[in-house]
Structure 1
């Protein structure tokens, strides 16, 4: 399917952007950190500009994926972005020891389980846009869910706080994807409809809010706590938006059993990847240097 191609292109482009921008940032003197001169230095580096180019490709590809396919299919595919970033980072630095230290079993588990789970679920159907009344209900429920998560997170510390904020960020990114899908439907009706509709502006608000929550989740605790909640939570909540807002359908009945098994394998694989020492560097790279991509609902 065309949307699968664009979703894979998005994940690959995000991973490439992260690796290229981190490689450029690593060449900048440490004393320029948090200074305007950092950007001035990076702009002069071709590898950083190449990374920005991949950010643009990722943004366009994700919009195309959401415009041509169901959210329940597109968003879960982005789960492979983290393992792909690890592999590309090791290759980019020509580090054979890093390649050997990659959690290959976990990477394979996540990739195979993701493919099998989507093949079994077979997300299908979908309308291009949701009614404003449906959006109103969805936004109220989302706001209440986010309030509960953030409220609970402020009363705890450590890993639990990171997990709760990671889930809150996942919900924000899923909402951003749903809004983007509707915005692409507005674009099909013309530029006037696109810029006069509220959806595209809500994309920006939801994206910025999600990025803020993600940064707090990463600060609160380890990747083992936040990353699985972010990765799997985004996929599951995106599916719920697809079903409730855009009339998408999944296989149910006894098909739910292998889907649950695949989901469990993905969660276990994500946890093992997050435990990898290489994941800390790769994830910091994605969240710090490729933040423009996140604003387009990573």
Structure 2
């Protein structure tokens, strides 16, 4: 894998992690204000009102940077390499989240991320995904698109029947599947760059990217409102990586070496899984770390420097 591919993929991961934290902060600000305001708690214009929040707009800008970096990475690299590298988004989520929500990570959390990073590096080094085609063969996208649509529909239906963290996980898996499909469509689109501007704007991949990307964006907003980042983020990042590897194999012929290499590959996957489990159970990522919204104190006295939770109670100093 090239250095440029890795750098662009990591920049995309940084943008994604930053966007998740900032838009989660905007969502929690809105929830806190809705709970303290009289009248109906649900409003169809809720998403429109988010557009006026600085944290949400900053998150949108981070998403744009992430998308541009991802297009560049997919133009020069393999889908089965770029998307797994986006698992590092979890690390950036922790770093940015600790700043936005004023919650310092502990040693257990950092150890979990070391395990996650080591597992990712071991898996990619052992698997060594092969170069595939820049475009899928004619007729392959239709059955793949049908399968993806059915899978996403089932996950959304399951999410509506669940509550709490389980709902966030189900929606995270649906969103991850859409993001992986969007990445595969971007890969398909970049394969048409050689044909010039006319080939890009007169063929279907550009418009498919817009439609699936918009669906992914809307699903992400629902995911961020459904539960904490500790529940949704692992499903988002790992689901995206695994589905992308499958799509790279089916659509573009990118192969992962097996044989004796399967031993370190499985070890890498287990390390990543252990890191994710440790992360979701760590004090820094559970217990509402991303629900306590810091507020500027309005008066001097013993309350100065305290944070308030969304229900109006006092947080920790």
What TM-score comes out, normalization by structure 2 length?
A: 0.73
1:179 and 1:203 in contact (8 A); partners too? yes
Please identify which structure carries the higher helix content.
1
1:59 is aligned, of 64, 67, 84, to 67
1:179 and 1:202 in contact (8 A); partners too? yes
| Residue ranges of structure 1 left out of the alignment (5+ in a row) | 286-298
Query: Which residue of structure 2 lines up, in the alignment, with residue 267 of structure 1?
Result: 273
Query: Which residue of structure 2 lines up, in the alignment, with residue 77 of structure 1?
Result: 85
Change (3 A) 1:49 1:173: closer
- CA distance in 2 between partners of 1:249 and 1:282 (Å): 39
TM superposition shift of 1:178: 0.2
Query: Which residue of structure 2 lines up, in the alignment, with residue 12 of structure 1?
Result: 14
Deviations 1:113-145 (A, max 9, x none): 111111111112111111340101211221222
Which one has the largest radius of gyration? 2
Query: Which residue of structure 2 lines up, in the alignment, with residue 180 of structure 1?
Result: 186
- CA distance in 1 between partners of 2:207 and 2:291 (Å): 28
Deviations 1:199-245 (A, max 9, x none): 11111221222233334344445545433322211111100000110
- CA distance in 1 between partners of 2:130 and 2:155 (Å): 30
Change (3 A) 1:53 1:158: closer
- CA distance in 1 between partners of 2:243 and 2:132 (Å): 16
2:118 and 2:271 in contact (8 A); partners too? no
- CA distance in 2 between partners of 1:233 and 1:135 (Å): 20
TM superposition shift of 1:9: 1.9
- CA distance in 1 between partners of 2:28 and 2:228 (Å): 23
Stretch moving more, 140-149 or 51-60: 51-60
- CA distance in 1 between partners of 2:109 and 2:13 (Å): 19
Aligned residue pairs total 278
TM superposition shift of 1:195: 1.3
- Whether 1:250 and 2:250 are equivalent positions in the alignment is no
- Whether 1:199 and 2:205 are equivalent positions in the alignment is yes
Change (3 A) 1:112 1:243: same
Query: Which residue of structure 2 lines up, in the alignment, with residue 107 of structure 1?
Result: 113
The SS at the match of 2:213 is: helix
Change (3 A) 1:18 1:265: same
Deviations 1:57-108 (A, max 9, x none): 3222110101111111000111111222322444x5796x715467111111
- CA distance in 1 between partners of 2:227 and 2:26 (Å): 27
1:228 and 1:267 in contact (8 A); partners too? no
Query: Which residue of structure 2 lines up, in the alignment, with residue 294 of structure 1?
Result: none
TM superposition shift of 1:4: 1.4
Once the two structures are superposed, the pairs formed by residues 1-298 of structure 1 within 5 Å of their partners are: 1=2, 2-16=4-18, 42=54, 54-90=62-98, 92=99, 98-100=104-106, 103-276=109-282, 278-279=284-285
| Residue ranges of structure 2 left out of the alignment (5+ in a row) | 38-45, 294-317
TM superposition shift of 1:271: 3.0
The SS at the match of 1:98 is: coil
